Amino acid sequence: MTRLNGRTALVTGAGRGIGREIARRLAHEGAFVILHHGSSEPAARDLLEQIGAAGGQGFLAGADLSDMAGIAGLFEAVDEGLARAGRGGGLDILVNNAGIGMPGDITTITPAAFDRVMAVDARAPLFVAQEAARRMGEGGRIINISSMVAHRAYQGFAIAYGAAKAALEYITLSMAVTLGPRGITANMVIPGATDTDFIADVMQNPDMVGQLKSATALGGIGTPRDVADAVAFLASPEARWVTGTHINVSGGTLL
């Protein structure tokens, strides 16, 4: 597939789970892919090797996105890597996928945990997008990965994660309005329960797996490929008139 030939994409959190499959899919579509990683460099390097073996191209860019210095360092690596690759045209696609989750509800969450989740899951996507947009021209794409947790309150679960993803959804709307006159779209993909290491403990519990399946209209649990397919559409020329909206990739969770 070649829908993204000539395009340059940055995927944050590309070493694991959903981000890994998104990066693989964009490379398959022909994009030159920058694989951001935090603590998962070996996995990201393995993916880069797989992309290269399949005829794709890209490079790694490591950074801790929990502070502004890390975001600045990420874009230093992006600019230097693109210059080395002879790709001076900047970025065309940003997928803000990197995120963390910490347990805790209103009775147990700590300020430190809340601040760290908000920094990685809400502040970082905003300021990564700010830098990416400076490097984008007309036809740019910003795709933010949200979560069903932003839309449903799950008892005793992830108050900071849900709050951060809800904030990210408003941030995405604001991006769409502000960047639209430049021909840049901004959209969200909203996964439900997806079989990755993010919910590995849940996937080891047959009762919880059964509950998740019964909560979806399609009667299953999502895969990273399900999410990557939606991202590939939003990154493509076919999504040129789609902005400020979301694709719910949850199998019809809690309809």
- Closest by CA position to 140, among listed 183, 97, 176: 183
- For this structure, is 161 an active site residue? yes
* Exposure string for 216-244, b = 16+ CB within 10 A, e = fewer: beeeebbbbebbbbbbbbbbbeebeebbe
- Closest by CA position to 250, among listed 209, 206, 194: 194
Instruction: In whole angstroms, give the CA distance from residue 162 to residue 209.
Output: 21
Distance of CA 211 to the CA centre of its chain: 26
Contact 9, 94 (CB under 8 A): yes
One of 32, 75, 161, 198 is an active-site residue; which one? Answer: 161
How far are the Cα atoms of 25, 68, 241 from residue 123, in angstroms, in the given order?
26, 9, 27
In angstroms and rounded to an integer, the radius of gyration of the C-alpha atoms of the chain is 17
Residues forming the active site: 161
